[in-house]
């Protein structure tokens, strides 16, 4: 009787067993984590060299005619690089300074080399970098007396007229020093440790002095004013810079200069 009763129970147990799942449930499918979007490098904007456009109105005080080669009081015309195409210079230079992104690597190498020299480590500063045409107008016209004293030619000896400053390209830095700030943007900067170091080393990093002493362009000697043209003609970003400065570099070579 016991076996018969057990036999009667087995079929339902087998049926129940056959109803159970024969395989384990599939594990959940992992959701892939999206990779972070790469940060795009700064967009490098290049502009063609500015050309002569005829008479120029200056400071709402008169019209001046450019020379046949486009110069105005010995200064060549230059394009105005938009602020959106520029980047911040290293903060170690002090203050707010915008430069063309093409010069960033060479500028960083120059500053690293300067900081490795105990004579000037940590002392290089930027007095001025990019200046828009509007700011250059304020700088130039502000140097002429309110009563009209001082001629355009006299002012242009020390400051380029608007639309004719290398600073508007974004490729130029007026260097200074924290150890002798009274010599910043003055001739005595050449005799400071920073000025001497730049003269001896800046060309290795693609920078040249635009307006050396006794220059044939007949503008003021500016030992603090250095334009970037790249270490070689084929260096990244160098061709546009060299194109913009072609006339000035060909007719009135820098000293020190970059080959």
16 within a domain of the structure (yes/no): no
18 within a domain of the structure (yes/no): no
Burial of 60 (0-12, 13-18, 19+ CB in 10 A): exposed
221 within a domain of the structure (yes/no): yes
58 within a domain of the structure (yes/no): no
Closest to 131 (Cα-Cα) out of 154, 97, 156, 91: 97
148 within a domain of the structure (yes/no): no
The CATH number of the domain holding residue 89 is: 3.30.1380.10
Q: How far apart, in whole angstroms, are the C-alpha atoms of residue 249 and residue 209?
A: 10
Q: Identify whether the C-beta of residue 55 lies closer than 8 Å to the C-beta of residue 95.
A: no
- The whole-model pTM stands at 0.80
208 within a domain of the structure (yes/no): yes
Domain extent at residue 230? 79-130+170-259
218 within a domain of the structure (yes/no): yes
Q: Identify whether the C-beta of residue 76 lies closer than 8 Å to the C-beta of residue 247.
A: yes
Q: How far apart, in whole angstroms, are the C-alpha atoms of residue 75 and residue 161?
A: 8
The count of structural domains within the chain is 1
Phi, psi of 193, deg, nearest 5: -55, -40
pLDDT tens string, the chain, 259 residues long: the values are: 444 444 444 444 444 444 445 555 566 656 556 565 555 555 555 555 556 667 889 998 889 999 988 999 999 999 999 999 999 999 999 878 999 999 999 999 999 999 999 999 999 999 999 999 999 999 999 998 766 557 899 999 999 999 999 999 999 999 999 999 999 999 999 999 999 999 999 999 999 999 999 999 999 999 999 999 999 999 999 999 999 999 999 999 999 999 9
> Number of C-alpha atoms within 13 angstroms, CB side, residue 7?
4
156 within a domain of the structure (yes/no): no
């Amino acid at each position: 009787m016991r076996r018969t009763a057990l036999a009667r129970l087995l079929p339902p147990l087998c049926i129940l067993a056959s109803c159970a799942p024969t395989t384990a449930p599939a594990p959940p499918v992992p959701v892939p984590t999206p990779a972070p979007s790469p940060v795009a490098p700064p967009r490098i904007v290049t502009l063609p060299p500015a050309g002569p456009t005829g008479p120029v109105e200056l400071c709402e005080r008169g019209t001046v005619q450019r020379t046949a080669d486009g110069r105005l009081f010995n200064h060549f015309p230059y394009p105005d690089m938009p602020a959106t195409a520029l980047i911040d210079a290293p903060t170690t230079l002090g203050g707010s300074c915008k430069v063309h992104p093409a010069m960033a690597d060479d500028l960083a190498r120059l500053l690293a080399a300067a900081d490795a020299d105990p004579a000037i480590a940590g002392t290089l500063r930027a007095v001025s970098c990019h200046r828009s045409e509007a700011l250059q107008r304020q700088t130039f016209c502000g140097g002429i007396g309110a009563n009209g004293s001082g001629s355009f030619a006299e002012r242009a000896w020390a400051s380029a007229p608007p639309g004719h400053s290398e600073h508007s390209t974004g490729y130029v830095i007026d260097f200074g020093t924290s150890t002798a700030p009274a010599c910043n943007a003055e001739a005595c900067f050449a005799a400071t440790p920073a000025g001497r170091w730049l003269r001896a080393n800046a060309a290795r990093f693609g920078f040249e002095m635009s307006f050396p002493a006794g220059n044939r362009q007949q503008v003021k000697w500016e030992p603090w004013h250095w334009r970037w043209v790249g270490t070689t003609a084929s260096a990244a970003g160098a061709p546009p810079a060299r194109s913009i400065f072609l006339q000035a570099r060909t007719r009135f070579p820098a000293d020190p200069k970059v080959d």
